[in-house]
Amino acid sequence: MKHQLTLAIGPAIFRIGSAWRAPIDALRRLYASYPRPEEGAIADFTVRLEPAGRGRRWWRPSVRIAGDHMLPEAAPMALRHGLLAAEMGMNLQMALGWRRHLLIHASSVEKDGRALVMAGESGSGKSTLAALLGQRGWRLMGDEFALLDFVTGAIHPFPRLISLKNQAIGVMRAEVGDGGRFGPLMAGTPKGDIAHLVPSPDAVAKMKEAAPPALLLFPRFGLPAEMRPIGEGETFMHLTQASTNYVACGERAFHALHDFVTRVPTVAMDFSSGEEAEAMIADLWREQAR
Amino acid sequence: MSAAALAALLRTPEQAPHLPGEAWNGIVAAARAERLLATLASHLQGVALPEAVGAIFADARRDADRDRQLALWEADRAACALAPLGIPVLLLKGAAYVAAGLGAGAGRMIGDLDILVPRDRLEEAEQALLAAGWEWVKSDPYDDVYYRRWMHELPPLIHRERDRMIDVHHTILPLTARPRPDASALLAERIDLGGGLWVLSPEDRVCHAVAHVLADGDLAGGLRNLWDIKCLISDIEDMDKLYRRAALHGLTAELSRAQRLCDHLFGTGEGALRLADRFFLARLLSTDGWGRDSRPLLGLGFYIRSHLLRMPPLMLARHLWTKWRRGHRPS
Amino acid sequence: MTGEARQYFRGAPDELLVRPLEGLTLIYHRPSGVTHIVDSPVPEILSQLDAEPCPASTLLARLARQYELEDGEGALDPLVAHLETLCEVGLARAVEPEAKG
């Protein structure tokens, strides 16, 4: 493929090929602080950004996300959203193909050598919370996937560009002084406005440092502040649904998830602002440390 | 060409330690696209490999082990539903290879469950499967009518809860195809695996694989099918017996072609290829180092050919026209 | 075919991985790769099944002894319903009785 880039993020290496230069340039700029894989590094996954149909490389360029693992019905994207396509492509490879850890759709941050895992659907606020905490004394481990070790039960970092949507973009711009840590604003995507935020230098530097989980949150943004514990059965069921590879990983996943659920306290947390959430999390964190 | 490099590596695994790092990216991508990654991994066990390749291979082998487990479970469920009616569940393709512990089953990725039942028991089998929790994959009525009249299988069924498909065949090629394999002969020579499961005889297994790749399909995934054939042929003791069986099924030419192609790709590479063989070879090796089909027009030629094989030209024109109107396009 | 006539049994003990959760039981069924989340009396029923087929009435007697249940006729139908469900998902199996005459 004409343009390509190899990226190392956490335990995974991605080889990204593109028919167009722009998405590769954008990736190269935003991942510039990440350790560069050596020449000829063997990638775990291949992602391809290719023209969606004859002639769509030049005329109204249309990007199809392809690679080792693909979704045949996926709608093509406009070239100006190429960076988003690349990120979605990497997500897809992990979701469908990663087997070395149990993947949970969750963000995670670390403090005092222990991990806080925040699971939830799109719009729950887990990515924005992780980004916010990452600026306020916590170390970001990831915003999209939490990687659970089958043997040790630790959470492994997978710090990709943080995907911020709509209002969250403004919130984080105010929070993060360095404008250079932001990718271009992509307006009018199927999920609204999106901009990417590069994780802090600390998060990138420690991207191989795992931490045992101490607390699992199910955050819900946009509701009056409230916290309540969630039982083990309900948690187990939610997490099997929140895991893209639980079924594929078989027996190991069963053991790892059972261990996780029986050892890590789980709390549902409703909140209406970042400050509220930060305060409730600080309380919970103090609680679990005792 | 990475598909060629992949075939070469399957032919001579000892080459692996001499490959430069970058070559592995192309081979892994091609192997994934051809669904041969776990096969390559199990074939290269014990060979010195870069650590990153070792990790990728370990994941692939685990996936194949899991596929095997799930295929055997689906076979068990089908036997549960059909054995009480005295309908033999004769396994085809990947499920057969793993159930019978064949070399062709090593590292095999398995998708749907393919079984063969006698044509006169087809309706009963259909009813029993529906009662046991399978349901029709939603398709349009035209395809349904076409399937039932002309194809060699029921329209696809999928299990309501397990979400896995089963293809119930009554012969191994469509009724409209030119070679006419003898379905009752296939059933007559079947081998009992126990647990209500059966497989084809060794010779019929080869004939089915040959019919499937050369007389039926558009050769997508053909490299893996040829690898299957290579493994299955190596289990044959009497080649004359194999060719007599192929003659019975009208598959002599296809078997010869398959053998020439296998020799060229995975054997000594010495056999003389015919001109037409080279088109097949080009199609089989068209996957590039990024996992893409590098010769899409050649693929289109084979897509049309695969329909020509299944249907007389007049029917073909009508069928493709109707599908075109409904918006299907070969990818 | 009434359930009372069928006989029920299980596969090998290591086919199932059983783990407790608060108030519930997790069962990983190795042959199918499916994880089941179940509640009483399913784990108890499974624990009283073994490789030897037996009718539901025998199982009921075993359960009654083991768990000090009321051994009434009313318990048989629900037990059969559970057993049939377990057969449907593959956690248990059934054989028809020998044909008579």
Q: Which tens digit of pLDDT belongs to each residue from A234-257? A: 999 999 999 999 999 999 999 999
Chain A residues with beta carbon closer than 8 angstroms to that of B32:
46, 68
Instruction: Report the pLDDT value the prediction gives residue B275, as an integer from 0 to 100.
Output: 82
Q: Tell me whether B24 touches chain A (CB under 8 Å).
A: yes
Token pair, residue A207, equals 């991207």
Residues A230 and A249 in one domain: yes
With cut-offs at 50, 70 and 90, classify the pLDDT of residue C98.
Answer: low
- Indicate yes or no: CB of B24 within 8 angstroms of CB of A42: yes
Q: Tell me whether B31 touches chain A (CB under 8 Å).
A: no
With cut-offs at 50, 70 and 90, classify the pLDDT of residue B146.
Answer: low
Give a yes or no: residue B189 inside a domain. Answer: yes
With cut-offs at 50, 70 and 90, classify the pLDDT of residue B176.
Answer: low
Subunits with at least 3 CB pairs below 8 A relative to chain A? B, C
Instruction: Report the pLDDT value the prediction gives residue C101, as an integer from 0 to 100.
Output: 39
**Separation CA A219–CA A229 (nearest Å):** 12
Q: Which domain holds residue B44?
A: 2-325
For A218-270, the DSSP string reads EEEETS--EEEE--HHHHHHHHHHH-SSHHHHTHHHHHHHHHHHHHS-EEEEE
H or E stretch covering A94: helix A82-97
Q: Which tens digit of pLDDT belongs to each residue from A169-190? A: 999 999 998 889 999 999 988 8
Q: Which tens digit of pLDDT belongs to each residue from A37-54? A: 988 899 999 999 999 887
Q: Which of A79, A97, A115 is the last residue of a domain?
A: A97
- The domain total for chain A is 2
Shortest distance between the Cα of A212 and any Cα of chain C, in A, equals: 21
* ipTM of predicted assembly, 2 dp: 0.93
The nearest alpha carbon in chain A to B52 belongs to A42
Q: Which of A97, A121, A140 is the last residue of a domain?
A: A97
A114-119/C16-21 β-pairing: unpaired
In chain A, the DSSP E strands lie at: 3-9, 12-18, 45-51, 62-67, 77-78, 102-111, 114-119, 139-142, 145-148, 155-156, 162-165, 186-189, 192-197, 213-221, 226-229, 266-271
Instruction: Report the pLDDT value the prediction gives residue C1, as an integer from 0 to 100.
Output: 45
A213-221/A266-271 β-pairing: parallel
Give a yes or no: residue C67 inside a domain. Answer: yes
Query: Residue by residue, what is the 3-state secondary structure of chain B?
Result: CHHHHHHHHHHCHHHHHHCCHHHHHHHHHHHHHCCCHHHHHHHCCCCCCCHHHHHHHHHHHHHHHHHHHHHHHHHHHHHHHHHHHCCCEEECHHHHHHHCCCHHHCCCCCCCEEEECCHHHHHHHHHHHHHCCEEECCCCHHHHHHHHHHCCECCCEEECCCCCEEEEECCCCCCCCCCCCCHHHHHHCCEEEECCEEECCHHHHHHHHHHHHHHHCCCCCHHHHHHHHHHHHCCCCCHHHHHHHHHHCCCHHHHHHHHHHHHHHHCCCCCCCCHHHHHHHHHHCCECCCCCECCHHHHHHHHHHHHHHHCCHHHHHHHHHHHHHCCCCCC
Give a yes or no: residue C57 inside a domain. Answer: yes
**Separation CA A6–CA A14 (nearest Å):** 6
Q: Tell me whether B25 touches chain A (CB under 8 Å).
A: yes
- Indicate yes or no: CB of A66 within 8 angstroms of CB of B292: yes
pLDDT at residue C99 is higher than 70: no
Q: Tell me whether B318 touches chain A (CB under 8 Å).
A: no
- The domain total for chain C is 1
pLDDT at residue B289 is higher than 90: no
pLDDT at residue B328 is higher than 80: no
pLDDT at residue B188 is higher than 70: yes
Whether the Cβ atoms of residue B24 and residue B50 lie closer than 8 Å to each other:
yes
With cut-offs at 50, 70 and 90, classify the pLDDT of residue B216.
Answer: low
- Which residues are CB-neighbours of B73 under 8 A, at least 6 positions away? C31, C32, C33, C90
Of B70, B76, B161, the CB nearest to C33: B70
Chain C residues with beta carbon closer than 8 angstroms to that of A237:
37
- Reference A211, options A161, A146, A137; nearest CA is A146
- Indicate yes or no: CB of A13 within 8 angstroms of CB of B25: no
- Indicate yes or no: CB of B76 within 8 angstroms of CB of C31: yes
State pTM to two decimals: 0.90
Give a yes or no: residue B330 inside a domain. Answer: no
Tell me how far CA of residue A24 lies from CA of A15, A16, A48, C55, in angstroms.
11, 8, 11, 67
Q: What percent of chain B has pLDDT over 70?
A: 82
The nearest alpha carbon in chain B to A47 belongs to B290
CATH number of the domain to which A206 belongs: 3.40.50
Least confident interval from A142-151, B61-70, B211-220: B211-220
Q: Tell me whether A25 touches chain B (CB under 8 Å).
A: no
Give a yes or no: residue B138 inside a domain. Answer: yes
Q: What is the mean pLDDT of residues A140-144?
A: 96
pLDDT at residue A272 is higher than 50: yes
**Separation CA B304–CA B320 (nearest Å):** 9
Q: What are phi and psi of C100, to 5 degrees?
A: -95, 155
Give a yes or no: residue B331 inside a domain. Answer: no
**Separation CA A12–CA A42 (nearest Å):** 10
Instruction: Report the pLDDT value the prediction gives residue B185, as an integer from 0 to 100.
Output: 87
Shortest distance between the Cα of A40 and any Cα of chain B, in A, equals: 4
Q: Which domain holds residue A244?
A: 102-287
Instruction: Report the pLDDT value the prediction gives residue A177, as an integer from 0 to 100.
Output: 86
Q: What is the mean pLDDT of residues A114-121?
A: 94
Instruction: Report the pLDDT value the prediction gives residue A203, as an integer from 0 to 100.
Output: 97
Q: What is the mean pLDDT of residues A145-156?
A: 98
Of B28, B52, B290, the CB nearest to A1: B290
Whether the Cβ atoms of residue B294 and residue B287 lie closer than 8 Å to each other:
yes
With cut-offs at 50, 70 and 90, classify the pLDDT of residue B269.
Answer: low
Instruction: Report the pLDDT value the prediction gives residue B331, as an integer from 0 to 100.
Output: 47
Give a yes or no: residue B83 inside a domain. Answer: yes
**Separation CA B88–CA A83 (nearest Å):** 54
Q: What is the mean pLDDT of chain A?
A: 94
Residues A114 and A84 in one domain: no
Of B32, B50, B52, the CB nearest to A68: B32
- The domain total for chain B is 1
Question: Which residue type, as a one-letter code, is found at position A148?
Answer: L
Q: What percent of chain A has pLDDT over 70?
A: 100
Subunits with at least 3 CB pairs below 8 A relative to chain C? A, B
pLDDT at residue B131 is higher than 90: yes
CATH number of the domain to which B161 belongs: 3.30.460.40
For A15-28, the DSSP string reads EEEESSHHHHHHHH
**Separation CA A126–CA A146 (nearest Å):** 12
Q: What is the mean pLDDT of residues B287-293?
A: 87
Helix axes B2-11, B252-266, angle to 10 degrees: 90
Instruction: Report the pLDDT value the prediction gives residue B138, as an integer from 0 to 100.
Output: 67
pLDDT at residue A122 is higher than 90: no
Q: What is the mean pLDDT of chain B?
A: 86
Q: Which of A82, A97, A112 is the last residue of a domain?
A: A97
Q: What percent of chain A has pLDDT over 90?
A: 87
Give a yes or no: residue C100 inside a domain. Answer: no
Whether the Cβ atoms of residue C49 and residue C92 lie closer than 8 Å to each other:
yes
B235 versus B317: which is more confidently predicted? B235
Q: Is A52 strand, coil or helix? A: coil
The nearest alpha carbon in chain A to C35 belongs to A254
Chain B residues with beta carbon closer than 8 angstroms to that of C88:
133
Chain-centroid distance, C-alpha B244: 22
Instruction: Report the pLDDT value the prediction gives residue B325, as an integer from 0 to 100.
Output: 61
pLDDT at residue C3 is higher than 60: no
**Separation CA A131–CA A147 (nearest Å):** 18
With cut-offs at 50, 70 and 90, classify the pLDDT of residue B147.
Answer: low
Among C32, C85, C91, most B C-beta atoms within 10 A, so best to mutate, is: C32
Instruction: Report the pLDDT value the prediction gives residue A44, as an integer from 0 to 100.
Output: 97
